[in-house]
């Protein structure tokens, strides 16, 4: 099974306002902010406000309203950042083999340049 949620993780601290972030979007269910170590001209992290470790945990336990709100927010953020036309990449690391570093579910949104092969 999955490990329990660790509320000392860095994104939990950002959600509690204990650590600053460069916010790009926020609503009832979602927070989005710039990655501290960007891998593309646009590198935004989109996270649910609920305590979910990963996609596995979020998809299993989140309410339909949280899931719908999250999915719609990701699309809206990409559009609001101006990358609906030139395109973008969404990526979620889940667990050990993915190299997931922060155990609070997040989607990476990359844009602003040709992004190259998927697993480079």
Report if residue 10 touches ligand 5GP, rule: CB under 6 A: yes
CA angle, residues 28, 34, 40, in degrees to nearest 5 = 135
Which residues, other chains included, contact 119 with Cβ-Cβ below 8 Å and sequence gap of 6+? Answer: none
Instruction: Tell me which of 37, 97, 117, 118 binds ligand 5GP, using CB under 6 A.
Output: 37
Q: Which is nearer to ligand 5GP, 19 or 68 (CB)?
A: 19
Q: Which of 29, 83, 104, 106 is catalytic?
A: 106
Q: Is 80 helix (H, G, I), strand (E, B) or coil?
A: helix
Instruction: For residue 38, give the H/E element and its range.
Output: none
Instruction: Tell me which of 7, 23, 26, 36 binds ligand 5GP, using CB under 6 A.
Output: 36
Report if residue 94 touches ligand 5GP, rule: CB under 6 A: no
Q: Which residues contribute to the site for ligand 5GP (CB under 6 A)?
A: 10, 19, 21, 33-37, 45, 93, 99-102
């Amino acid at each position: 099974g999955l490990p329990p949620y660790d509320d000392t993780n860095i994104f939990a601290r950002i959600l509690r306002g204990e650590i600053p972030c460069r916010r790009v979007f926020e609503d009832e269910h979602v927070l989005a902010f710039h990655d501290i170590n960007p891998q593309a001209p646009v590198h935004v992290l989109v996270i649910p406000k609920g305590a979910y470790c990963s996609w596995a945990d979020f998809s299993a336990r989140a309410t339909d309203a949280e899931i719908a709100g999250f999915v719609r927010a990701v699309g809206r953020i990409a559009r609001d950042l101006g990358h609906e036309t030139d395109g973008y990449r969404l990526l979620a690391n889940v667990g050990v083999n993915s190299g997931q570093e922060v155990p609070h579910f997040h989607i990476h949104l990359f844009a602003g340049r040709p992004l190259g092969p998927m697993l480079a």
